[in-house]
Amino acid sequence: MLWTEKYRPELLHQIKGQEHFVMDAENWVELQNMPNVLFYGVSGTGKTAAGLALTRSILGEDALDNFFEINASDDRKLETVRTKIKDIAQSGGLGQVPFRIILLDEMDGMTTDAQNALKRIMERYSNNVRFIITCNDRSKIIFALQSRCANYHFKPLSYQTILGVLNEILTQENLAGKFPEAEMLAFIKAYEGDLRRTITELQAAIASNKPLAIQVQSGLQEYENILDKIINKNTDILTQLHNLLFDGKTIKDICLGLHDVVINAQLDNSTKYKLLRVIGESEWRSSTMTPRVLLSWMVGQLI
């Protein structure tokens, strides 16, 4: 079982590093009422986990019949709001619950028209439903939605906080003391506060019996190979990037991997900044362009 699922926080007090949210959420649970909320911040900081923990705490045993999770970047169309979300919002709660809860994950991928339609549903059915919205980039959420939600910034976790979480997991897995603290901290630093990715890479390192430093390096190896092809203007790069996409990597994953290897590469400044500009623009375009088309555009810019 993946450790990110096995050790996902189930209760509010188990959420790490987001004390400002936890304090308010515990009051909402006591009152059995809550506002619509918007969680924003970088990946792997616990936004979705916080939404699920809040839902369990308020809806209790009736959560199964009254909680709905929708990935807004997949179901991003206006029709999704007008049908699926509206149908849920119109229905009253089942059992002894104050309202239903809809979690809209990765909301920054939803179109502006769909967001505007959601705004009206949020107002019209406020007695029936509450919304938990998560996103990485709050600027892609229309202001009318932001203003109708309590906004919480989920900041990257400190290295010491992540170290504590990893040590708890290793203890539960009977692996306490497997790695020296200095090695663990260097490993944690490589993933810049992304707890989910850090846990995933730790499990992968243990499963393959690799030192943590080698695990970090192996994760970047394929991107170093891609960078070499970019520098040598090898057009095979497009096939390699498409293969990463077919293997389950997102555009953001690819851009982050390329960003890290370019930052550490021995290149002259003008080349490095040109590559970083294209990589950054590609990540920005990822919410509005088809992934395969975007990769083709990116390769055209890079070589």
What is the structure's pLDDT at 269? Answer: 87
Average the pLDDT over 78-93 and give the result: 76
**Domain 219-303 falls under CATH 1.20.272.10:** yes
Provide the pLDDT confidence category of residue 229 given band limits of 50, 70 and 90.
Answer: confident
Would the pLDDT of 74 be above 60? no
Residue with tokens 């944690």: 188
**Predicted pLDDT at 224:** 85
Where helices occur in 140-268 by DSSP H, the ranges are 143-146, 159-172, 181-189, 195-207, 212-231, 237-246, 251-264
Residue 104 has pLDDT above 60, yes or no: yes
Q: What is the pTM of this model?
A: 0.77
pLDDT tens digit string along 18-36? Answer: 999 999 999 999 999 999 9
Give pLDDT, residue 96. Answer: 80
Cα separation of 247 and 251, whole Å? Answer: 12
Query: Which structure tokens are listed for 205?
Result: 């390192």
More confident residue, 172 or 85: 172
Burial 112-126 (b: 16+ CB within 10 A, else e): eebbebbbebbeebe
d(CA 298, CA 254): 11
Largest CA distance in the chain: 64
Instruction: With cut-offs at 50, 70 and 90, classify the pLDDT of residue 167.
Output: very high
**The pLDDT of residue 72 is above 80:** no
**pLDDT value at residue 238:** 86
DSSP state of 85: I
Query: Does the pLDDT value for residue 201 go beyond 70?
Result: yes
Instruction: Evaluate whether the domain defined by 3-153 bears CATH number 3.40.50.720.
Output: no
pLDDT, averaged across the chain: 86
Please report which confidence band the pLDDT of residue 252 belongs to, taking 50, 70 and 90 as the band edges.
Answer: confident
Candidate from 77-86, 108-117, 178-187, 210-219 with smallest mean pLDDT: 77-86
- How far out from the chain centre does Cα 63 lie? 23
pLDDT digits (tens, 9 = 90+) for 232-247: 888 788 888 888 887 7
Domains of the chain, residue spans: 3-153, 157-209, 219-303
Examine the pLDDT at 76 and tell me if it is beyond 70. no
Instruction: Fill in the DSSP letter of residue 77.
Output: S
Is 303 within 8 Å of 230 (Cβ atoms)? yes
Using pLDDT thresholds of 50, 70 and 90, give the confidence band for residue 292: confident
Residue 75 has pLDDT above 60, yes or no: no
CB contact at 8 A, 185 and 212: no
Place of tokens 């400002």: 20
pLDDT at 62 exceeding the cut of 60: yes
Q: 223: pLDDT confidence band, cut at 50, 70 and 90?
A: confident
The pLDDT score that the predictor gives to residue 228 is 87
